[in-house]
Every structure is written in structure tokens, then in C-alpha cells.
Amino acid sequence: MSELELYRLPSSMTPLLPAANTTLRALAAELLLHSSKLSSAFNPYTRSAIVKLVEPMNSYYSNLIEGHNTHPLEIEKALKKNYSTEPKKKLLQLESRAHVLVNHKMKEKLLEVKDPYNWEFISWLHKEFYVHMPEEYKIVETKTGNKLNVIPGEMRKTEVEVGHHIGPAAESLNAFLNFFEEGYAPNKIPDPIDRIIAVAASHHRLAWIHPFLDGNGRVVRLFTEAIAITEKIDGDGLWSVSRGLAIKNKDYYSALHNADQKRWNDHGGHGNLSEKFLVEFCIFFLETAIDQTKFMISLFEPDKVLARIKEFVEIMVIRGELEKESRYVLEEAILKGRLIRGDMQRITGKSENIARRIMNDLIDKELLVSESDELRSAVRINFPIRYAPYIFPKLFPKDIEATMMD
Ligand SMILES: Nc1ncnc2c1ncn2[C@@H]1O[C@H](COP(=O)(O)OP(=O)(O)OP(=O)(O)O)[C@@H](O)[C@H]1O
Ligand SMILES: [Mg+2]
């Protein structure tokens, strides 16, 4: 595409939403149903402990799509500011930490954001992510060998290419982003099911605009997560679309690529871009999301979680790392979310001293954490990343999990 042929008119990204479609509506309704099941899993304390595990997992997969494979144990260390002495590993750790922090902060930010389709919010995501990004990852090399700096939160000033797609002209980005915000505004799409379909469609359209010099993929996925929260399909943070997109990375890229295509003929829809491929993208996205919610629902079946806790404690006992009565403490902690320290004797059936030691071992292993510095009488359940393969298997890829269990 030559300079003159760049997209300059926002109407060139129409349609923003596919026309009424029963398949899409059924998928959106199914996603709503599954995600609301997740919102009622366990109790609020256990749920927030799981969210603390899902956030780094989400980050793991979103960076993996970018080709950055950071070992989950390295992410766990990075969150404690414990960095590798190997420079390359440290860069990945800093990047993961930046991603986890913005992912978390985004949820607080949403309490004050009225419309996440607004550019201010999207650029905030990029800014919060990139200000903490190592300098080495803020440099982009163009095809002609020029080095450009990625400025946190700033729109690109040069043209970009992603796959076979060339994003709209840099000087027209404002117009495209305004059109994007207005087109997906609640008064334009008032129906809640259509708004869920818009979560899928807007994912492609924002990636298609490609507003930043780099970091678009991860910011678009964070943005999609934010929209999922406002449309109440995020299962209170208990599932991650990036896990699904990373597992089906090839299909994700080809669905994005197809949806970039212009409409072929008058039967191809009502806008400039192909509606048929936008529908296919939305189907791909919603099916991926549904798969992820179903996976998480099955992972959180209480009986199965308790059976895994039993096995986990057995392994830890053999290793000499926990006492066998820890099992009852963990079971009750998961089912209730928080325990009073004074309850340990009753739960373990042991003397005060032994019960305290059992609890302290669990605190050392970070399976229990003190509620707060003031409220030291209560402890809450916690799920360190390193034990995820035992307690919540398959969150990470199989080969990676194998290296976490040594
Ligand atoms: N054909 C396409 N059309 C639109 N968007 C695309 C296409 N192919 C890929 N993308 C999106 O662009 C992202 C890559 O853009 P960019 O390198 O700016 O983002 P990143 O965050 O640095 O990397 P990554 O997205 O791979 O994590 C992909 O992740 C994907 O979301
Ligand atoms: Mg990139």
C-alpha cells in the first residue's frame, strides 16, 4: 500500500458491529451464563486469592503471544522484586511485573472510568504499562533500520504494519479513535447481548487501528479485559481470554488477519471491511472465551479442589515440608476464605504448640497470609504460583508445569 492509499477515513473501518446474527447472540448469552457461574464460585476471600493467581497467569499468556516466554516462577520472583542475574531473564521479569501491575491497577481505575472505549483510558493502559517497561523494550526498529522510541501512552507518529495489514495513517488516528469511541458508545449499542458481541468486535477493530508504535497486542487484550469487566462477563477476574488466545495463537492471528479484509462484493455486508470475516472473528473470540470459562468452572469444582489439596499435602508431607494436618487447615481455609488463628487447635486436633507450628509452616509457604498488619488474628488462603500445578493444574502449559514441580 503506498502512502496515498493509507486508510484516512474512519468510515473505512465499518462495520463496527455485525448485523443481527443468531449464532453470535447465542454465543454471547452462553458466555454471560458461564462467566456469572464463575462470579459465584467459592467465597469472596478465596476468589480474590484466585484472582491473585490469575493475574500473573494472564500476563504470562499475553506476553507469550508476543513471543516473550517468561517462566511463571520468574514472574512470581519478579512480583517480589527478586530479579535474575541473567540480563535477558531480568528484562522479561521486569516486563511481566509491569504487565501484572497494570492489569491489577486497571481494575481500580475502572471504578472511576465512565467509558473504557475512550482514548484517554486506552492510552492510560499503555502509559501505565510502558512507564514500568525496561528501556530495552521501548525501542522499535523500523524496516529501514531506524530506531524509534515508544513513548508511554502516546499515539504512534509513524505508519505501522502488522502481518499484511497496514494501520490507518498516523495523522488520521484521532479521527479513527473518536469514531471507535462513538460507535461503541452505550447509546449506539444499548442491547446487553449486542454489547457482549461488541467486546469481541472491538478487539479486532482496536488492533486494526494499531494506535501505538508497539505494545498494541497487550494493550488491546487489557482493554478487552476492561470491557469484559464493564459488561460483567469477566467472572470477577476468574478467567483470562489471553490463555485461550495464546493456546490458539495461530487461529487468533488468522482470524485477525481475515477480519482486516475489505468487503469483496455487495453480499459481503454493509461496511467497508468484510462483515463475514468480522462475524467469524467474533465467533472465534466468543468460543475461545466460553472454552476458558468452562475450563475454569471445572477447575474450581469444590470436591476436586479438595481432592487435589489432599494429594498436594501428601506430597508435601513426603518432602518434609508440611504436617499432614495442614490438609484440614487448607480445606477449611479454601471453603471459608479466612480463618481465625485461635481455630487452629480445633481444626488440627493438636496441642496449641503443634497447631501453631502447622499454621506457621503454612504461612512460611505463603499458603496462608495474615489478613493485615492490624488484623493479625485472622489468616487468609493464598495460592502461590509455584504450587499452581498441584492445586489448579493446567493453568500453565504442561511442559512448563513439569518444570515447576521439581
Ligand atoms: N492482521 C492483524 N490485524 C490486526 N491486528 C493484528 C493482526 N495481527 C496481529 N495483530 C495484533 O497486533 C498485535 C501485535 O502488535 P504489537 O507488536 O504492537 O503488540 P505487542 O503487544 O508488542 O505484541 P503482541 O501483541 O504480540 O503481544 C498482536 O498481538 C495482535 O493482537
Ligand atoms: Mg510488539
pLDDT beyond 70 at 25: yes
**Is 278 near ligand 1, meaning CB less than 6 Å away?**
no
Residues 282 and 350 in one domain: no
Query: Closest ligand 1 atom to the C-alpha of 67?
Result: 26
Q: Rounded mean pLDDT of 274-295?
A: 98
Q: Rounded mean pLDDT of 234-241?
A: 97
**Is 95 near ligand 1, meaning CB less than 6 Å away?**
no
Q: Rounded mean pLDDT of 205-213?
A: 98
Residues 240 and 349 in one domain: no
Q: Is 361 exposed, middle or buried (0-12, 13-18, 19+ CB in 10 A)?
A: middle
pLDDT beyond 70 at 84: yes
Residues 223 and 240 in one domain: yes
In a domain, 7, yes or no: no
The pTM assigned to this predicted structure is 0.96
Report the b/e string of 104-125 with b at 16+ CB within 10 A.
bebbebbeeeeebbbbebbbbb
Q: Rounded mean pLDDT of 4-17?
A: 93
Residue 179 grid coordinates: 469514531
Query: Closest ligand 1 atom to the C-alpha of 218?
Result: 21
371 pLDDT band, cuts 50/70/90, is confident
405 pLDDT band, cuts 50/70/90, is confident
Residues 104 and 141 in one domain: yes
Q: Of 299, 321, 355, which residue sits at a domain end?
A: 299
Ligand that lies nearest to the alpha carbon of residue 216, given by its number in the listed order:
1
End-to-end CA, the chain = 52
* Residue ranges making up the domain that contains 81: 14-299
**Is 217 near ligand 1, meaning CB less than 6 Å away?**
yes
Per-residue model confidence (pLDDT) at position 127: 98
pLDDT beyond 90 at 143: no
Per-residue model confidence (pLDDT) at position 406: 75
Residues 74 and 220 in one domain: yes
- Distance (Å, whole) CA 100 – CA 75: 9
Residues 200 and 346 in one domain: no
The CATH number of the domain holding residue 194 is 1.10.3290.10
Residues 242 and 330 in one domain: no
Per-residue model confidence (pLDDT) at position 31: 98
Residues 378 and 311 in one domain: yes
Cα–ligand 2 centroid distance for 274 (angstroms): 26
- Total number of domains constituting the chain: 2
In a domain, 309, yes or no: yes
66 pLDDT band, cuts 50/70/90, is very high
In a domain, 91, yes or no: yes
Cα–ligand 1 centroid distance for 62 (angstroms): 11
Query: Closest ligand 1 atom to the C-alpha of 66?
Result: 26
pLDDT beyond 70 at 137: yes
Residues 282 and 320 in one domain: no
Q: Rounded mean pLDDT of 99-113?
A: 97
Per-residue model confidence (pLDDT) at position 271: 87
Q: Of 283, 299, 315, which residue sits at a domain end?
A: 299
Residues 309 and 294 in one domain: no
- Supply the mean pLDDT for the chain: 95
Cα–ligand 1 centroid distance for 309 (angstroms): 39
For residues 391 and 309, is the Cβ–Cβ distance under 8 A? yes
Residues 272 and 366 in one domain: no
144 pLDDT band, cuts 50/70/90, is confident
Q: Rounded mean pLDDT of 129-136?
A: 97
Q: Of 279, 299, 319, which residue sits at a domain end?
A: 299
Q: Rounded mean pLDDT of 269-297?
A: 95
Which DSSP state fits 185?
Answer: S
In a domain, 153, yes or no: yes
Cα–ligand 2 centroid distance for 139 (angstroms): 10
Per-residue model confidence (pLDDT) at position 28: 98
